[in-house]
């Protein structure tokens, strides 16, 4: 479109001043932005309150959208379930039968565990989730991988608490507002999680790479024992996550570990639960910057 | 009188007789549309990659380039503030970069007062590349090569969406200037 000519102020003093003031305010705006940006680099939590309030104000819309999202997903699952329904059904029945047997066996093992723990005088407190809520949104246009949770400090959610879905770890609470909170997802580049291979004691760190994959970095270097298909679970080190929750499956091995895909895709989870910090003393003792998991 | 063209007293914005623009709408639509576009990327859940284009920036560029002179040069500050609340970037990022973008377009307009659409698209494309690169650099996390590669789909999508954003802005502009008010 043609320029409007509002830039040419002519002889009008008022127009000249208006124009000049506009440029000055724009320059000051850039300066204010730069200062706030620098501040939020050194104090990432500084503006959490404002952001939390903004998210809270948006929550009627995001909650509705989350309800629709999970609802429409199950509709699609229903439709796709009809595809090869017969053979799938037969296979599922076979798997279910085996799973039932394994479940009985697991119950026996659990019973034995309780008995042995009783002998050793170990107590295990029942962990109840702090809150169960939907993931209502995410920072979909930013390089960072955050999700927004529909529960906040009013529901007892506090910074650092682990967030999990029925499938596995989703992330960690980073900021809380009164009715919503921000979750640092595993795929974010700032997320580091101590893991071990399920089945043995190969310990490693799972770091987000920023492109949807996790980098598994072995702690003991040497011959790389990993193979594609290995499942990694939380090791409980660091004190934030309880041990034994599924995290990722290895897809590719590298020199110092491998690349893994997350088990619990937050976009596929209907509800997620926020749990207590597993060992608050250990987590507090670590005194690491809040955005990083406990590392070396 | 019946033989006269019934559209003689109307234009693209409605009847010219007994009708006038709504001041509120004419002033609020650009600002409101950019704010809503800033909020929209919150809704989808993107786990792996930043897949949703920065819609707030697209609408800002659209209004600024399709209707020059409508948004003041300082508009990047208040609109960036809204974007910062929802974007997930460190607070102040959009205020900083959007202010610079508004000043940059002002400079471009000074050099090239008459432009074709593809020149606007080119300008917007350069600014989008700069914005996303700055977002990668100043995200508050360690900028890794993998997260840079992960930006590419979003970058391509955003540049390709600019013409659609521009058409949408033109549509909103007609809506903005429709004569709603009965005199």
Task: Return the minimum-mean-pLDDT range out of A34-43, A65-74, A186-195.
Answer: A65-74
Q: How confident is the model at residue A296 (pLDDT cuts 50, 70, 90)?
A: very low
Among A45, A69, A73, A141, pick the best mutation site for testing chain B contact (most B Cβ within 10 A).
A141
Give A109-166 pLDDT, tens digit per residue.
888 888 888 888 766 666 788 899 988 888 989 988 999 998 888 999 999 899 988 8
Out of A22, A25, A33, name the one closest to residue B92 (CB). A33
Give A13's strand partners: none
Give the list of residues 6+ apart from residue B93 with CB closer than 8 angstroms, or none.
Answer: A33, A37, B80, B84, B87, B134, B135, B138
Lowest-pLDDT range, A90-94, A161-165, B17-21?
B17-21
Asked if pLDDT for residue A5 goes beyond 70, the answer is: no
> What pLDDT does A1 receive?
56
- In this prediction the pTM is 0.85
Q: Which two tokens stand for residue A236?
A: 């409980």
Q: Take residue B32 and report the two structure tokens written for it.
A: 């409101």
Nearest by CB to B47, which of A2, A47, A265? A265
Taking 50 as the threshold, does the pLDDT of residue A270 lie above it? yes
Q: Do A267 and B53 touch (CB under 8 A)?
A: no
More confident residue, A269 or B156: B156
Q: How far is B147 from chain A (nearest CA, A)?
A: 5
DSSP per-residue codes, A41-98: HH-TTTTHHHHHHHHHHHHHHHHHHHHHHHHHHHHHHHHHHTTTHHHHHHHHHHHHHH
Out of A140-144, A223-227, A267-271, B75-79, which region has the weakest mean confidence (pLDDT)? Answer: A267-271
Q: Where are the beta strands (DSSP E) in chain B?
A: 10-11, 14-15, 19-20, 181-182
Cα radius of gyration (chain A)? 25
The residues in A 19-38 lying below 8 A from B, measured between CB atoms, are 22-23, 25-30, 32-38
The pLDDT tens digits for B54-104 are 999 999 999 999 998 889 999 999 999 999 999 888 999 999 999 999 999
3-state secondary structure of A14: helix
**Distance, in angstroms, between A140 CA and closest chain B CA?**
5
pLDDT, tens digit, for every residue of B22-50?
888 889 999 999 999 999 999 888 878 88
- As given in the structure block, the two tokens for residue A189 are 């580049």
Residues of B (11-30) whose Cβ lies below 8 Å from A? none
Residues A81, A92: contact at Cβ < 8 Å? no
Q: Looking at the complex, report in whole angstroms how far the Cα of residue A46 sits from the nearest Cα belonging to chain B.
A: 9
Residues 6 or more apart in contact with residue A27 via CB below 8 angstroms:
B99, B103
What ipTM does this complex have? 0.84
Over 90: is that where the pLDDT of A244 sits?
A: no
Mean pLDDT of A83-94: 87
- Cβ within 8 Å, pair A267-B47: yes
Among A29, A38, A133, A260, the residue to mutate for chain B (most B Cβ within 10 A): A29
Scanning A265-294 for CB atoms below 8 A from B yields 265-267, 291
Q: Chain-centre distance of CA B109, in angstroms?
A: 17
Q: CB-CB: which of B46, B141, B146 is closest to A140?
A: B46
A12: DSSP letter: -
pLDDT at A289 over 60: no
Confidence of residue A4 (pLDDT cuts 50, 70, 90): low
Give the model's confidence band at A57: pLDDT under 50 very low, under 70 low, under 90 confident, else very high: confident
What's the pLDDT tens digit per position in B108-155? 888 888 888 999 999 999 999 999 999 999 988 888 888 899 899 999
**Kind and range of the H or E element at A172?**
strand A169-176
């Amino acid at each position: 479109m043609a320029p409007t000519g509002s830039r040419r102020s002519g002889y009008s003093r008022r127009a000249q001043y208006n124009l000049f003031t506009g440029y000055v305010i724009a320059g000051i705006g850039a300066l204010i932005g730069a200062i706030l940006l620098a501040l939020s680099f050194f104090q990432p939590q500084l503006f959490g309150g404002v952001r939390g309030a903004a998210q809270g104000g948006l929550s009627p819309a995001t909650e509705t959208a989350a309800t629709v999202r999970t609802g429409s997903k199950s509709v699609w699952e229903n439709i796709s379930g009809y595809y090869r329904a017969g053979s799938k059904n037969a296979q599922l029945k076979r798997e279910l039968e085996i799973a039932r047997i394994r479940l009985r066996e697991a119950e026996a093992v659990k019973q034995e565990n309780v008995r042995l723990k009783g002998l050793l005088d170990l107590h295990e407190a029942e962990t109840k989730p702090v809150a169960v809520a939907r993931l209502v949104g995410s920072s979909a246009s930013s390089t960072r991988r955050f999700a927004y949770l529909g529960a906040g400090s009013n529901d007892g959610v506090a910074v650092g608490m682990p967030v999990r879905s029925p499938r596995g770890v989703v992330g960690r609470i980073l900021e809380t507002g009164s009715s919503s909170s921000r979750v640092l997802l595993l795929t974010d580049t700032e997320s580091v999680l101590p893991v071990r291979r399920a089945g043995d004691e190969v310990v490693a760190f799972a770091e987000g790479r920023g492109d949807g994959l996790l980098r598994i970095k072995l702690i003991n270097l040497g011959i790389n024992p990993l193979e594609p298909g290995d499942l990694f679970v939380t090791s409980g080190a660091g004190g934030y996550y309880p041990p034994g929750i599924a995290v990722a499956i290895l897809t590719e091995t590298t020199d110092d570990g491998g690349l893994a895909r997350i088990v619990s895709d937050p976009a596929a989870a209907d509800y997620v639960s926020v749990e207590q910090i597993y060992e608050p003393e250990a987590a507090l003792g670590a005194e690491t910057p809040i955005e990083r998991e406990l590392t070396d | 009188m019946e033989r006269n063209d019934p559209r003689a007293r109307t234009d693209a914005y409605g009847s010219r007789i007994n009708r006038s623009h709504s001041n509120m709408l004419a002033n609020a639509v650009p600002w409101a549309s950019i704010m809503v576009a800033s909020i929209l990327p919150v809704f989808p859940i993107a786990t792996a990659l930043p897949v949703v284009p920065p819609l707030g920036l697209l609408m800002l560029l659209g209004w600024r380039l399709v209707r020059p002179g409508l948004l003041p040069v300082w508009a990047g500050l208040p609109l960036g503030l809204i974007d910062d609340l929802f974007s997930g970037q460190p607070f102040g990022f959009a205020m900083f970069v959007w202010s610079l973008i508004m000043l940059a377009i002002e400079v471009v307009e000074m050099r090239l007062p008459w432009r074709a659409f593809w020149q606007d698209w080119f300008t917007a494309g350069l600014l989008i590349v700069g914005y996303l690169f700055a977002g990668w650099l100043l995200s508050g996390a360690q900028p890794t090569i993998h997260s840079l590669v992960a930006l590419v789909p979003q970058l391509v999508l955003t540049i390709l969406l600019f013409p659609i954003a521009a058409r949408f802005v033109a549509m909103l502009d007609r809506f903005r200037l429709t004569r709603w008010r009965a005199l």
